[in-house]
């Protein structure tokens, strides 16, 4: 039951926290000699525990279904893995030389990393929005939500309830029965793992997201700090990334626009689609509503920090662990997996280059960058500006985007192959085999089965992978589009790029590669979703921009000017984000009516978990979302972007409602057992109540809702 109970909430939460706690214990021991701080080891341990909860029960669900038995066996497997790894690989915790060797020194952690205070405030905001957006019950019994969650949360609720209630594995789309669920569902099955214990749907939805957002924020901060070695740079980059927003605030300088910001649906500085503002606000528009992005980044961001250290130190143990983390990503968030793959490509390229230089006895080039690296950014901006001009005269670039992208990638791989051949000739191939080779081998071993079972079939659908140019720009000049959308961070990034040392620019090189790929190809029917790739590149942009600001303010100049400049930068860099976050804070919409919620309680008690119910195809369908029951056809806004051709089935809904006797064969075709009639169905179709009563008996009638069981 989606209402849950106190005992179910307690059991579900206890079961959940066992995984990250045991993961923290394991990683604290396994990485004790790797010179990581206690805080970072615990962060990695929590990520390992989350991955274990997402994957361990799944391994047994193939044989026993998504049941409590599978979850207990998954917990047993994880405890065994932790104990074995801690004993075999681990060392005495005291053996590690860490900045925070004892628990009493955590106060020093706070002094050295003031960004933790900002993270805590952001966490409170995030938690508040989750609590007010995740189906809180109003006084009249209806369930409500917020602005950003009004759409996608319905899909996630349906996945959570259907996976837990139907227990079928691999799961199918409850909003399109008969088709395997190819969406990265592990971001939702983690909540199903709480829901099966009797936790309320609200608790099951919210609790895993609270830890995930901490992993995202902490992982980003650690990556920037390990990259530049400065907490000040990490703090500034953190603000740039999580309080991102472009120049849209210039349209909110009058009282009328400001008032509309807090009342209208998606009228904020970061969502003015008519004015070509498309860059989403990270917290309000990505982390709160986009569960796949949230849980994908909860792995990706700590992984970037960890893998950067692995590459610098060439630590085999770190490469192996990073391979396991990365290999688990595809069914959590495919875009994060792809983004990390692009990052690894560039880091492998420059690592191979460095090894070849060492083989030839050449010293690493100190100081500034060679011309090739410096020219990459202006050349890229000029290249895409020219392509935009050409594309406007016939869409030729979009049609050939895959080809252009392929040529660029082929050239990169050709140079990389030359480096590898040189290493093999010099007998130095073991250097890469013991690090990158094992790392890639683990990823292939873990990720390829996921891609075969779920992803490739979906990606083969029409419109998934195709050429597409310039993301979602609808008319602005190429460079200006990103200046107005990203704002001050983009402006500061430009001098930050040209003033960066060679090593920093090599680390940030994935930014250019990701942008190149994301601007020439779309990896989903909705090309806007390429922002999930662009945001991975945005991490590096924020790093370079923040480092430029840090270096600038470390110079000796008038402190009054410094304070004034800092205030101006902070205001113009965050005002769009703050307005958007303010709108999200106060937003409130009814998602499911009180009568619909009450009817769903009846459905859970009176119907089988895998029953098929005829309903409308509205996106906020209470039957699909709250009960997890199968419906004939769900919202096209979900199905189309998952590569499902739903139009025929959607059209048959109207026939089945308007003339149920004549089209009774459709009921048999879709194995319909129940018919749901509410105000939504009455408004969407010409519902023939007399015909329905000829083929079905009414088993529920209250307010505006009737439920029929087929005879």
Residue pLDDT, tens place only, 43-92: 999 999 999 999 999 999 999 999 999 999 999 999 999 999 887 775 55
What is the mean pLDDT of the segment spanning 360-387?
Answer: 75
708 confidence band (pLDDT: 50, 70, 90): very high
Structure tokens at 363: 């010293």
> For the residues 316-322, what does the mean pLDDT come to?
94
Given this model, what pLDDT does residue 398 score? 79
Spatial strand order of the sheet with 612-614 comes to 630-631, 612-614, 674-677, 705-710, 696-702
Whether the predicted pLDDT of 465 surpasses 90: no
Q: Does residue 533 register a pLDDT over 70?
A: yes
With a cut of 90, say whether residue 368 has pLDDT above it. no
> Phi-psi bin for 11: left (phi > 0), alpha (psi -120 to 50), beta?
alpha
Supply φ then ψ for residue 628, to 5 degrees.
Answer: 75, 10
Sorted by sequence, the CB contacts under 8 Å of residue 65 that are 6+ apart come out as 167, 168, 169
Cα 518 to Cα 408: distance, rounded to the nearest angstrom: 13
pLDDT given for residue 635 in this prediction: 95
What's the CA gap between 63 and 100, in Å, rounded? 44
Alpha-carbon torsion (15, 208, 194, 80), positive or negative: negative
Alpha helices (H) along 460-518? 478-486, 488-498, 502-508, 510-518
Residues 203, 9 contacting (CB under 8 angstroms): yes
**pLDDT, mean of residues 468-495:** 94
- Close Cβ partners of 363 (under 8 Å, ≥ 6 residues apart): 357
pLDDT at residue 341 is higher than 70: yes
pLDDT of residue 96: 46
**pLDDT value of position 94:** 45
- Banded pLDDT at 429 (limits 50, 70, 90): confident
**669-698 mean pLDDT:** 95
- The token duo for 282 is 């990270």
Distances (CA, A) of 361 to 354, 366, 564: 11, 15, 49
- Hey, what long-range contacts does 258-261 have (CB within 8 A, 24 or more apart)? 258/579, 261/579, 261/582, 261/583
Q: How far apart are CA 55 and CA 186, in angstroms?
A: 8
Question: 369 or 676: which carries more pLDDT confidence?
Answer: 676
For the beta carbon of residue 274, count every other beta carbon within 10 angstroms: 7
Burial class of residue 54 (count of CB atoms within 10 Å of its CB; 0-12, 13-18, 19+): buried
The answer to whether the predicted template modeling score (pTM) of the entire model surpasses 0.75 is yes
Encoding tokens for residue 246?
A: 């472009």
* pLDDT band (50, 70, 90) for residue 366: very low
Cα separation, 48 vs 31, in Å, equals 13
Residue 22's pLDDT band (cuts 50, 70, 90): very high
- Strands (E) in 142-230, as ranges, are 143-145
Share of the chain above pLDDT 90, in %: 79
pLDDT of residue 367: 44
Query: Do the Cβ atoms of 158 and 2 come closer than 8 Å?
Result: no
From 37, 75, 88, select the one nearest 197 (Cα to Cα): 75
Per-residue pLDDT of 548-570, as tens digits, reads 999 999 988 888 898 999 999 99
* The pLDDT value given to residue 365: 45
The pLDDT-based confidence of 310 (bands split at 50, 70, 90) is very high
- Angstrom distance (rounded) from CA 266 to CA 272: 8
What's the CA gap between 315 and 313, in Å, rounded?
A: 5
The per-residue pLDDT of the chain, averaged, comes to 92
Hunting for tokens 């749907």 — which residue is that? 201
Q: Once rounded to an integer, what is the mean pLDDT over residues 380-409?
A: 87
Cα torsion at 283, 268, 335, 60 (round to 10°)?
60
Comparing 9-13, 120-124, 305-309, 368-372, which segment has the lowest mean pLDDT?
Answer: 368-372
pLDDT digits (tens, 9 = 90+) for 240-266: 999 999 999 999 999 999 999 999 999
How far lies 105's CA from each of 45, 221, 250, 435, in Å? Answer: 20, 20, 46, 34
CA atoms of 325 and 388, how far apart (whole Å): 38
Give the per-residue pLDDT at 626. Answer: 97
**CA gyration radius, the chain:** 26
Q: Does the pLDDT at position 26 exceed 60?
A: yes
Tell me the mean pLDDT in the region 224-252.
96
Round to whole Å and give the CA distance between 575 and 666: 54
Cα separation of 280 and 132, whole Å? 21
95: pLDDT strictly greater than 60:
no
The closest of 355, 366, 219 to 298, measured between CA atoms, is 219
Tokens read off for 86: 């801690």
């Amino acid at each position: 039951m989606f209402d849950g109970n106190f005992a179910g909430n307690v059991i579900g939460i206890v079961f959940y926290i066992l995984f990250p706690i045991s993961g923290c214990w394991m990683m604290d021991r396994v990485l004790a000699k790797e010179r990581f701080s206690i805080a970072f080891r615990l962060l990695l341990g929590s990520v390992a525990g989350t991955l274990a909860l997402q994957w361990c029960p799944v391994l047994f669900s193939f044989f026993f279904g998504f049941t409590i038995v599978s979850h207990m066996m998954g917990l047993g497997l994880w405890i065994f893995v932790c104990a074995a790894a801690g004993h075999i690989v681990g060392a005495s915790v005291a053996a590690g030389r860490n900045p925070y060797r004892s628990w009493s020194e955590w106060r020093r952690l706070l002094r050295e990393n003031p960004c933790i205070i900002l993270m805590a405030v952001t966490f409170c905001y995030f938690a508040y929005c989750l609590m007010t957006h995740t189906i809180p019950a109003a006084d009249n019994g209806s369930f409500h939500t917020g602005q950003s969650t009004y759409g996608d949360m319905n899909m996630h609720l349906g996945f959570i309830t259907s996976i837990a209630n139907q227990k079928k594995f691999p799961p199918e789309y409850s909003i399109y029965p008969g088709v395997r669920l190819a969406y990265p569902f592990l971001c939702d099955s983690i909540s199903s793992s709480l829901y099966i214990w009797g936790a309320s749907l609200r608790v099951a939805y919210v609790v895993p997201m609270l830890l995930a957002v901490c992993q995202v924020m902490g992982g980003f901060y650690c990556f920037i700090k390990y990259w530049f070695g400065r907490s000040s740079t990490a703090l500034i980059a953190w603000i740039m990334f999580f309080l991102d927003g472009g120049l849209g605030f210039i349209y909110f300088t009058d009282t009328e626009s400001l008032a509309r910001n807090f009342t209208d649906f998606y009228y904020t500085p970061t969502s003015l689609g008519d004015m070509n503002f498309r860059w989403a606000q990270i917290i309000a528009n990505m982390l709160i509503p986009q569960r796949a992005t949230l849980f994908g980044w909860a792995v990706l961001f700590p992984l970037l920090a960890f893998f950067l250290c692995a590459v610098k130190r060439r630590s085999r143990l770190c490469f192996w662990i990073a391979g396991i983390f990365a290999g688990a990503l595809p069914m959590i968030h495919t875009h994060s997996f792809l983004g990390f793959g692009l990052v690894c490509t560039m880091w492998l390229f420059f690592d191979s280059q460095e090894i070849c230089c060492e083989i030839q006895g050449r010293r690493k080039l100190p100081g500034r960058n060679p011309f090739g690296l410096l020219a990459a950014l202006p050349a890229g901006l000029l290249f895409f500006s020219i392509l935009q001009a050409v594309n406007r005269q016939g869409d030729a670039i979009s049609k050939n985007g895959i080809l252009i992208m392929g040529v660029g990638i082929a050239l990169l791989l050709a140079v990389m192959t030359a480096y590898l051949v040189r290493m093999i000739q010099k007998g130095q191939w073991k250097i890469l085999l013991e690090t990158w080779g094992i790392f890639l081998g683990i990823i292939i071993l873990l990720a390829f089965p996921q891609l075969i079972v779920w992803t490739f079939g979906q990606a083969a659908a029409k419109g998934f992978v195709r050429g597409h140019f310039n993301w979602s720009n609808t008319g602005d000049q190429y460079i200006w589009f990103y200046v107005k959308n990203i704002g001050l961070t983009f402006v500061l990034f430009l001098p930050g790029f040209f003033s960066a040392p060679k090593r920093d620019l090599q680390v940030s090189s994935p930014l250019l590669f990701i942008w190149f790929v994301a601007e020439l190809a779309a990896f989903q029917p909705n090309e806007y979703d390429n922002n999930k790739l662009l945001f991975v590149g945005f991490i590096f942009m924020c790093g370079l921009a923040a480092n430029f600001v840090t270096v600038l303010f470390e110079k000796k100049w008038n402190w009054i000017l410094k304070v004034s400049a800092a205030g101006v930068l902070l205001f113009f860099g965050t005002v769009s984000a703050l307005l958007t976050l303010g709108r999200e804070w106060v937003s409130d919409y009814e998602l499911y009516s009180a009568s619909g919620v009450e009817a769903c309680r009846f459905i859970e008690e009176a119907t089988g978990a895998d029953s098929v119910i005829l309903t409308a195809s509205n996106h906020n369908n209470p039957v699909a979302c709250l009960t997890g029951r199968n419906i004939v056809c769900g919202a096209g806004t979900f199905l189309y972007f998952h590569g499902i051709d739903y139009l025929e089935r959607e059209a048959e809904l109207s026939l089945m409602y308007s003339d149920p006797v004549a089209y009774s064969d459709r009921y048999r075709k879709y194995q319909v057992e129940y018919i749901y009639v509410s105000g939504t169905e009455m408004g969407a179709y010409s519902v023939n109540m007399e015909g329905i009563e000829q083929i079905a008996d009414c088993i529920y009638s209250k307010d505006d809702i009737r439920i029929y069981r087929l005879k």
